[in-house]
Structure 1
Amino acid sequence: MNRIEEEQATASILKEIIENKNIELEQGVYHFDGRYIAKSTRSLWQSIKDNPPGFILECKAASPSKGLMCKNYQPRELALTYQPYAAAISVLTDQKYFSGNFEHLQQVSNAVDIPVLCKDFFIDPEQVQRARQHGADAILIMLSVVDDALYQRLADTASSLDMDVLTEVHQPQEIQRAINLGAKIIGINNRDLHSLKTDISLTISLSDLIPDDVLLISESGFSQHTQIEQMKNLKRPVDGFLIGSHLSQSEYLIHELKQLKYGAVKICGITSVFDAMNAFESGVSYGGLIFSHQSSRKVSLDKAKTIVGSVNLKWVGVFTETSLEEIETVVYNLKLSAVQIHWHATEAFFDALKNILPERCEIWQVLKIHDLKTLQHLTLTSDSVDRLLIEPTGELAGGNGLSFPWDNINLVDRDLSKIIVAGGINPSNIQQIKKYQFGIVDVNSGVETKPGVKSLEKIAQLFSNLLLSNEQKRRVAE
């Protein structure tokens, strides 16, 4: 099938879906019996404003393009997992093409405290009433499938029930229609409904057309935190993101959610279950356990087992001058996701280490450097090394409190996605470091009250500062 045939087939699927909706309406699937419907008390608009970066996370079991995406689909449990990271939950309710239904919507609405968006192909006001009956606080209307008169009928019905409307567009003409129709929340769908290709640059090219008093949502195509940052820092920033298929197919959902919202953050030198639990709940992706005898944050293998068993973080073991056998024992006992090597090991050592580690366990090589300008000259000691961790020169294996002079560094044009950065990182400088888009940010003494004891307040402030947009940073400075 060539490109034109593919586009025609996809267009016919959309046409088929709308035709099926009309059949369902004729069959009374969406019949409204006239019973009283309580108005919504949860505002999608307000929740997106209050909960940056405004994630609308989607419960979706299947789609025409991808087929079944979630074999054991449990929308209630999925929504509860989403809730700490979301401004709202989206639920697919089309049954024939997306394996959804209104019961899924009701389950989610009953389970969560945040607004719930009903995502369907709305072409009749009865659908809006039924959506509200089953707990929807907002609906999505696609301008590509309704004319202005029908849009107004749907929007008026939603308004009468205090429901918000997410108005979906894909081209400049639809944006102008949405503005003329008084849309308060406009979503740019990055997926071409004819080719099914997704390109987030569509939002970049159209964002300036959205008025400042309208919330701008970017829909589809997001899998990396760097993409979220790019959109938040446009001349006309994106206010929220509708994310579905990427999460529905994820094997490591909580880890994916944290990295999407905050980027990858490691808290190193964890010495207690209490600190591990606080780190996990705050948004940390990686936890660091130090096995170096020189460190005041050293933990025994037995203590490490207790800590690792308390929360579902990706755990990293930090080692200095340790034998292959000792590292192997720790890795297999703790099921570590990575080992961090804090000495000038040889290529032969790294290769031998790779051979004895499970495939899931990465090797991180630590390099202590005086000047970040030397980054462009850094190379891996061995192909067996997965990532470089850079930190200022210091005596200890982490936790020295030394920092790079971030004010005088220009690294913006360099790809640092495979580099981990450590050294004196704390709530006050996290925004400076964040703009360089390192692969992982490694924090230790900057969130402690004393060596080995983490501060819940400092960790919370660190993650709060990570969410600040450029506009919010300017406001804080003023």
Structure 2
Amino acid sequence: MYYLKNILKEKLNEIRHGYLKDMDHLSMVERKTTIFKNPCFIKNLKAGRVNIIAEIKKASPSRGPINTGLDITEVSAIYDEFNSFISAVSVLTEPVYFMGEAKHIAEVRKGTEMPILRKDFIFSELQVYESSLLGADCILLISSLLGEKKLKRLYLLAGALGLDVLVEVHTPRDLEKALNIEACLIGINNRNLRTMQVEPDNIFNILKYARSSFGNKSVGKVLNISGTKSDSRPGYRNVTGKVFVCESGIEKVSYIKKLYDAGINTFLMGSYFMQASNLRNCLKEFEKELKACGLINNMLKAEYGVD
């Protein structure tokens, strides 16, 4: 809780007095006409296969320094080599607790053409404009840190600029807000931001709540809560295009397989890769494990029609 209060205070101070003030000279028309792009993040999450959103971060509040000397461009280029299961790259730009910088987005782009998710604590319209100017394809909005009206306002602004949005939830109330604003990409975070503890079953609890509270009249229209393996669409996606992403505490392929069988096939992974002494070898072993669980074969069959 101490960490969260501090980081919110620092971020709000940064927004009010920091580098974002340099964007004030941009008129609304200039912003809209010079920044707009076509959304590509969600489109790159493939049907019928595992999609890993591979994260780049030098540190985290829960682990402290992880890999402070990493080369951002080199890491993103290695991720690009494994695009059979990595569909996008996430990069932290928060400086105090994650040792991130805004310029890291451009450094990621030098190594890959995959879509980029900017992860930061975003509260301001200026941060949304900045994200687009920096070259991000998607931004993170944390439901628990924003009122529903502010969440919707930032969500709609991002969409107007051609940015996809990952709305992160941890509690039933967070999920309600995400559904109320009609979010298309919803990340269920297994890490409790107040205690920093990982709760691996949280994603199952949230989906169970969705099923029991909304039933077929509501949730059934935004996600396939039956979890049938025959559904080749991305995790719990239906005609409305909503995708659920599992976040935090993912360190075993067996856990991915369990969720994949339940209908979730998009996962955000960071620390597991970042702490590897040899990232390329780590990803090779990870790929082998996916294949051993039948997930690589499932992907090839879905994408190329081969057994």
Query: What is the TM-score with the length of structure 1 in the denominator?
Result: 0.52
- C-alpha distance in 2 between matches for 1:434 and 1:19: 44
CA contact under 8 A between 2:55 and 2:270: conserved in structure 1? yes
Matched, 1:256 2:246: no
Q: Which residue in 2 is equivalent to 1:244?
A: 270
- C-alpha distance in 2 between matches for 1:66 and 1:134: 27
Q: Which residue in 2 is equivalent to 1:74?
A: 71
CA contact under 8 A between 2:59 and 2:68: conserved in structure 1? no
Report deviation, 1:40.
Answer: 3.0
CA contact under 8 A between 1:215 and 1:239: conserved in structure 2? no
Q: Which residue in 1 is equivalent to 2:96?
A: 96
Matched, 1:29 2:19: yes
CA contact under 8 A between 1:222 and 1:228: conserved in structure 2? yes
> CA-to-partner distance for each residue in 1:245-294, whole Å, 9 max, x for gaps?
111111132232234345166xxxxxxxxxxxxxxxxxxxxxxxxxxxxx
SS at match of 1:144: helix
Q: Which residue in 2 is equivalent to 1:133?
A: 133
Matched, 1:60 2:51: no
CA contact under 8 A between 1:167 and 1:186: conserved in structure 2? yes
Q: Which residue in 2 is equivalent to 1:309?
A: none
CA contact under 8 A between 1:91 and 1:104: conserved in structure 2? yes
CA contact under 8 A between 1:143 and 1:167: conserved in structure 2? yes
- C-alpha distance in 2 between matches for 1:467 and 1:262: 13
Larger C-alpha radius of gyration, 1 or 2? 1
SS at match of 1:49: coil
State which of 446, 465, 472 in structure 1 corresponds to 2:297: 465
For structure 1, the residue ranges without an aligned partner over 5 or more in a row are 1-10, 266-432, 436-462
State which of 215, 219, 243 in structure 2 corresponds to 1:215: 243
CA contact under 8 A between 2:257 and 2:293: conserved in structure 1? no
- C-alpha distance in 2 between matches for 1:468 and 1:207: 28
Distance 1:27 1:51, change over 3 A: farther
CA contact under 8 A between 1:228 and 1:260: conserved in structure 2? no
Report deviation, 1:45.
Answer: 0.9
- C-alpha distance in 1 between matches for 2:136 and 2:153: 18
**Aligned-partner residue type, residue 142 of structure 1:** I
Distance 1:190 1:82, change over 3 A: same
CA contact under 8 A between 2:56 and 2:92: conserved in structure 1? yes
CA contact under 8 A between 1:109 and 1:136: conserved in structure 2? no
SS at match of 1:58: strand
- C-alpha distance in 2 between matches for 1:13 and 1:71: 20
Q: Which residue in 2 is equivalent to 1:373?
A: none
Query: What is the TM-score with the length of structure 2 in the denominator?
Result: 0.80
Deviates more, 1:191-200 or 1:139-148: 191-200
**Mapping of 1:218-367 within 5 angstroms?**
218-234=246-262, 237-263=263-289
- C-alpha distance in 2 between matches for 1:245 and 1:76: 17
- C-alpha distance in 2 between matches for 1:112 and 1:434: 28
Report deviation, 1:170.
Answer: 0.4
> CA-to-partner distance for each residue in 1:98-125, whole Å, 9 max, x for gaps?
1111111111124321110000001001
**Aligned-partner residue type, residue 467 of structure 1:** M
CA contact under 8 A between 1:190 and 1:220: conserved in structure 2? yes
**Aligned-partner residue type, residue 113 of structure 1:** E
**Aligned-partner residue type, residue 284 of structure 2:** K
Q: Which residue in 2 is equivalent to 1:13?
A: 3
SS at match of 1:23: helix
SS at match of 1:173: helix
CA contact under 8 A between 2:300 and 2:306: conserved in structure 1? no
CA contact under 8 A between 1:258 and 1:264: conserved in structure 2? no
For structure 2, the residue ranges without an aligned partner over 5 or more in a row are 211-218, 224-237
SS at match of 2:90: strand
**Aligned-partner residue type, residue 299 of structure 2:** L
Which portions of structure 1, spanning 4 or more consecutive aligned residues, are displaced by more than 6 angstroms? none
Q: Which residue in 2 is equivalent to 1:40?
A: 37
Distance 1:43 1:240, change over 3 A: same
Report deviation, 1:171.
Answer: 1.1
> CA-to-partner distance for each residue in 1:76-105, whole Å, 9 max, x for gaps?
111111122311100100112211111111
Report deviation, 1:30.
Answer: 1.8
- C-alpha distance in 2 between matches for 1:254 and 1:224: 17
**Mapping of 1:98-247 within 5 angstroms?**
98-208=98-208, 209=210, 211-212=222-223, 213=238, 214-234=242-262, 237-247=263-273
- C-alpha distance in 2 between matches for 1:264 and 1:168: 26
Report deviation, 1:54.
Answer: 1.2
**Aligned-partner residue type, residue 184 of structure 1:** C
- C-alpha distance in 2 between matches for 1:40 and 1:249: 34
